[in-house]
Amino acid sequence: MGFRAATSSGIRAYDPYSNSTVNMDLDLESKVEDLLEQMQTKQRIISGSNGKLKLIKSLQMKKKRERENLVLLEGHRQVIDALKLSRGTVGKPKLLLLTTQALDAPLGTLLLKTLIKSGEGDIEIDMVDESVMNKVLSDVDSSQGVVAAFNKPQFTSLASVAFDNSGRVAGSGLPLSTMDLKSKRAPLVVLLDRVSDPGNLGTIIRTSYGFGVDSVITVDGTCDAWSPKSIRSAMGMGLQLPVLETNWEFLLDFLKSDDSGEILQNILPASRGLFDKSDHPEPLQIFIADSDEDAVPYYSVDYTKPSLVIIGSEAFGVSEEANSLFNLAPNVTKKVYIPMVEGRELESLNAAVAASIILSEASRQREFSKKLCV
């Protein structure tokens, strides 16, 4: 949990999820026992026609998620992590459904503790019969018995995010990401172009978080980053890393509007106010993952400068719009490919695998460069 120091009111600990200190009462275990008893004796929902079940089930559909501005999280770990972020990007759950088996599971006690720290009195919690949970709510073979509806993260549209001169969302006082964006390293952004498999998309988001990417952008033709399958594959990292949705028409107009050719601040709003020209005078580099004959090996380019990495569809590659960046910004756009062992060439790699290989190299270069600067 971090460093702990005794105080007159109990235990004070550093919470790495909220970057703030939280008070932990010495009678936390007693509160957990009380909450557990309260949940176990609460009347259970036993009908699939219940309105709360219908709402949760409907969130498996994109149109309903967009209309309600909610996302569906399943499983102990996803809900626990989201609760730890409840002061930041997602707020408290609008609705939380549990089964008795979920409370008895190894992570059940941790879930209750996290609920208490988050102020469970303000959260609508209902108990559901396990058979109903499995049949009506979960799109996986075996539900963990934990399902919650959270607000969709605030930072999901490149077109709608307005920033003040400190790089924070205007009027909110919140940074774009829960990550520390005040480092002076050059920004790294991933753009997903027509990635249609939610498992691949979620894996790329998870990998991007681990390799230090600042934000992920999805454009038209890419599947929904907030589908249950995408969220599961991302292991909830979409709540930690900004995932911005836009379309090529808007994006290309955005880039064309920059007469100076320095498109960094247009493509990465998170950099505004945090990176000045003295730190990063270079324009944003664009690297398109492609096996085109003009491509260069992925490890031969410099990722320590501001970089945008475009990953296309495994089946169809990148779109015409992505290729048009060569005409829009020819001096800063390159295609990169991943060499295969001679005699064992493949037509294509899985999009998530390709992204992982490229981002691993980007991370290696950036970490090495950081050590040289110390």
Q: pLDDT, tens digit, for every residue of 308-348?
A: 999 999 888 899 999 988 877 778 889 999 999 888 877 77
Residue at 350: amino acid letter: N
209 Cβ contact partners less than 8 Å away, ≥ 6 residues apart: 237, 240, 241
Q: pLDDT, tens digit, for every residue of 24-34?
A: 455 788 999 99
Q: pLDDT, tens digit, for every residue of 106-117?
A: 999 999 999 998
Burial 216-244 (b: 16+ CB within 10 A, else e): bbbbebbbbbbbbbbbbbbbbbbbbbbbb
State the chain's maximal CA–CA distance in angstroms: 70
Residue written as token pair 């999820």: 17
Mean pLDDT within 218-228: 93
In this structure, what is the dihedral angle of CA atoms 347, 353, 355, 356, given to the nearest 10 degrees?
-140
Distance CA 164, CA 279 (A): 19
Rounded to the nearest angstrom, the gap between the alpha carbon of residue 93 and the centroid of all alpha carbons in its chain is 17
Average pLDDT over the chain reads 78
Residue at 145: amino acid letter: G
The fraction of the chain above a pLDDT of 90, given in percent, is 45
Confidence of residue 283 (pLDDT cuts 50, 70, 90): low
pTM: 0.80
Distance CA 70, CA 59 (A): 7
Rounded to the nearest angstrom, the gap between the alpha carbon of residue 291 and the centroid of all alpha carbons in its chain is 28
Distance CA 246, CA 220 (A): 7
Domains delineated in the chain: 42-151 (3.30.1330.30), 188-373 (3.40.1280.10)
